[in-house]
A and B are shown apart, each in its own frame.
Chain A
Amino acid sequence: MSRSEMVRIERHLNRRKVADFLFAMVGLLCLLFALLTLLALMYDLARTGVPRLSLDFLASFPSRFADRSGILSAWVGTLCVMAVTAVAVIPVGVAAGVYLEEYAPKNALTAIIELNIINLAAIPSITFGLMALGLFVYEFGFGQSILTAGLTLGLLVLPIVIVTTREAIRAIPNTIREAAYAVGASKWQVVQHHIVPYSAGGILTGIIISLSRAIGETAPLITIGALTFIAFLPTPPVSGDAPYVSFQWLMDPFTVMPIQMFNWVSRPQPEFHVNAAATGVILLAMTLVMNGAAIYIRYRFRKRVKW
C-alpha cells in the first residue's frame, strides 16, 4: 500500500468519524427537542394555570364570569365517566387477553381477532364517537349520558388493556402452567390461580395507562354530545330514602374536564384561557401521575418476579 493511499484512507476514516459524531449530535438534539417541547408545554401551562388553582375553583360550577367559574361539574363528570369506563373495560379487556393467550386455537377466527385489535389502534378516536352517537345514543336509547360516554371510552381503550394483558401473560413461563396441570388443575383453575395473579402487575399497568388515555380523551365525547356548560351534578348514587342506591346518575348529562378546558380555550377572552390552563394543569397532573404509577408498577413487578 502506497503512502498516499494510506493518507487517503486515513482521511476518509476521519471523515467517517466526523459524520458519526455529527449524527450523534443530531440524534441528541432530536431527543432534546422533543423533551424540551414537553417541558415548555408543562411550564407554559403551569405558569398560566397554577395561580388560578384554588379550592373555590374545584368547588364552583362554570359561570359566564371567568373569575367565578370552576370545574366542579367537570371533575365529578370525569370521575363518573371513568368509573363506567373502568367497569366496562377491565373485565372485557382482561378476559379477551386471557382468551387470546391461553385458550385461542390457531384458526381463522383468532387471526381475525388479533388483526382487528392491531388495527383498532389506528382508527381515529372521533369515529368511535360517531359510532357511539348512532348506536348508544339513538339505537340503544342511552341518550347523551354518562353511561354512553363511559362505554364509548371503554371501547376506545379496550385494545390497550387487551394488548398489555397479553404481554403480561406471555411473560409467565410455560413450566408454571405445566406444574399446575401436573397436579390435576383444570384450565380455568390454571388461569384463576396462576395466570391472572402472576400477570396482575402488567394488567394493572395496562389498566392505568388505558384510563389515563381515556381521561384526556375529548373528541369522541364532543361527538356524542357532552355539554360544555353544565351547572348541576349527577344524581347522587346513594340517598337517605329507600331504595338508598340509585343508578340514575348513569343516565344524567355530563361534562368532563377536557371538554370544559376545550370550551374555555375556545373563547376569545384571555381570562377564560387562564381557567383553561388551570384545568389543563389538573388534567396533565392526573395523566402524568397515572403514567408514572404505571411505570413504577411495571418496574416493581419486573424486579419482584424473576422466573
Chain B
Amino acid sequence: MVNTTQEAATAGGDEMRAEIRRLSFSYGDKTVVKSVSMPIYKDRITALIGPSGCGKTTLLRCFNRMHDLYNDTEYEGEIALLPENRNILSSDIDPIEVRMRISMVFQKPNPFPKSIFENVAYGLRVRGVKRRSFIEETVERALAQAGLWNEVKDRLGASALALSGGQQQRLCIARALATDPEIVLLDEPTSALDPISTAHIEELVVTLKQNVTIVIVTHNLHQAARISDYTGFMYLGELIEFGRTPGLFTKPKDARTESYITGRFG
C-alpha cells in the first residue's frame, strides 16, 4: 500500500482524503446542493444514496469541477483535498488539474470511438506523455486493475465500441485509473448494465479501494450496503445522514433515512 504513514486526522483508524465543507451548488437560481459537509476517507468507498433528484450526482460532479463546463453554475463552500488542504473549488485552481487527480466514471459507458488502447491511454496523452513503453505499461496495468486485461489483451487495437456494455464500463474504469488518480468518482456506474456485469464491477470496485479512494453514487441501496464503507444519505439537496455503512443501514438516526432505506419512498 502507498504511504499510510500518517495516521492523523482519522476516524476509527481511517484517514481523511478530502473534506466537503458547507458546500452549496446552484444552477442559475436553483440551489441543488445545500450546505453539505462530509468527510471522504482515504482508500475507502463512500456511497451517496438518495431518491432521484436529491442532488447526489450534482454533488459528485463538484469533485472534479464538471459543472465548470456549463454556464450559470455557482459553487459556495469548499471541498478540501487533504493533506494539503487546498480547496479544489477555488477559482485559483485550474479545473483541468483537478480532473487530472480526480477522475470519473459515468452512468452510461462512454468509451471514445477509438481503439481500446487509445481509450485507456487518453489520460496520458492529454498530459503530453510520449514515451511508448511507459504508455504501454500503464495501459496494461489499468486494464488489469479494471479486470479487463485478459479479455482484451489480444485485440488492443480493436474499436472500443465493439465491446459489450459491461466491458465498455470496465474500459471506462480503466481509463479513469490509468492516470493514477487520488480519487475516482463513480456515477451510478452499473445503472445501465445487466446483473452479471454489475456483480463483476462491484467486485472490481471493492478490489480497487486498496489503491484508490472511491466515491460512488448509486440508486441501488443493496449495492451501497454491499460495497461501501461509508454512506451519505441525501434528500432534497441536503445531506441528511452520514456514517459507517453498516450503522447507517441498521440503525439510521434520522427518520427520513429510515423511511428511505426501508423503501417507504424513493
Interface residue ranges, A against B (CB under 8 Å): 105-106, 173, 175-186, 189, 193-194, 198, 305-306
Given A105, A173, A177, which contacts B69 in the complex, CB threshold below 8 Å? A177
A184 B113 Cβ-Cβ under 8 A:
no
B106 A175 Cβ-Cβ under 8 A:
yes
A184 B100 Cβ-Cβ under 8 A:
yes
16 A-B residue pairings within 8 Å (CB atoms): A175-B110, A176-B110, A178-B104, A179-B110, A179-B172, A181-B66, A182-B103, A183-B103, A183-B175, A183-B178, A183-B179, A184-B96, A185-B96, A194-B112, A198-B113, A305-B161
Residue among B64, B69, B104, B110 facing the most chain A CB atoms (10 A cut-off): B110
Bound-state Cα–Cα, A194 to B126, Å: 12
Is B5 an interface residue when CB atoms closer than 8 A count as contact? no
Chain B residues with Cβ below 8 Å from A194 are 112
Is B176 an interface residue when CB atoms closer than 8 A count as contact? yes
Closest to A190 in B: B126
Given A173, A175, A185, which contacts B126 in the complex, CB threshold below 8 Å? A185
B window 78-107: CB within 8 A of A: 96-97, 99-100, 103-104, 106
Closest to A184 in B: B100
A184 B97 Cβ-Cβ under 8 A:
yes
Is B200 an interface residue when CB atoms closer than 8 A count as contact? no
Bound-state Cα–Cα, A193 to B161, Å: 17
CB distance from B60 to the nearest CB of A (A): 11
Chain B residues with Cβ below 8 Å from A179 are 106, 110-112, 172, 175
Bound-state Cα–Cα, A254 to B97, Å: 55
Interface residue ranges, B against A (CB under 8 Å): 64, 66, 69, 71, 96-97, 99-100, 103-104, 106, 108, 110-113, 122-123, 125-127, 161, 172, 175-176, 178-179
Bound-state Cα–Cα, A81 to B41, Å: 65
B69 A181 Cβ-Cβ under 8 A:
yes
Bound-state Cα–Cα, A184 to B182, Å: 13
Chain A residues with Cβ below 8 Å from B71 are 105-106
Bound-state Cα–Cα, A180 to B97, Å: 13
Bound-state Cα–Cα, A176 to B113, Å: 9
Chain B residues with Cβ below 8 Å from A175 are 106, 108, 110
Chain A residues with Cβ below 8 Å from B125 are 193
Chain B residues with Cβ below 8 Å from A105 are 71
A182 B176 Cβ-Cβ under 8 A:
yes
A176 B66 Cβ-Cβ under 8 A:
no
A183 B108 Cβ-Cβ under 8 A:
no
A176 B112 Cβ-Cβ under 8 A:
yes
Chain A residues with Cβ below 8 Å from B122 are 180, 183, 185, 193
Bound-state Cα–Cα, A175 to B161, Å: 14
B126 A178 Cβ-Cβ under 8 A:
no
Closest to B68 in A: A181
Closest to B175 in A: A183
Bound-state Cα–Cα, A180 to B103, Å: 10
Bound-state Cα–Cα, A180 to B126, Å: 9
A181 B99 Cβ-Cβ under 8 A:
yes
Given B69, B113, B126, B161, which contacts A183 in the complex, CB threshold below 8 Å? B126
Residue among A105, A106, A181, A194 facing the most chain B CB atoms (10 A cut-off): A181
Chain B residues with Cβ below 8 Å from A185 are 96, 122, 126
Bound-state Cα–Cα, A62 to B76, Å: 76
Chain B residues with Cβ below 8 Å from A106 are 71
Bound-state Cα–Cα, A184 to B110, Å: 16
Chain A residues with Cβ below 8 Å from B96 are 184-186
A178 B113 Cβ-Cβ under 8 A:
no
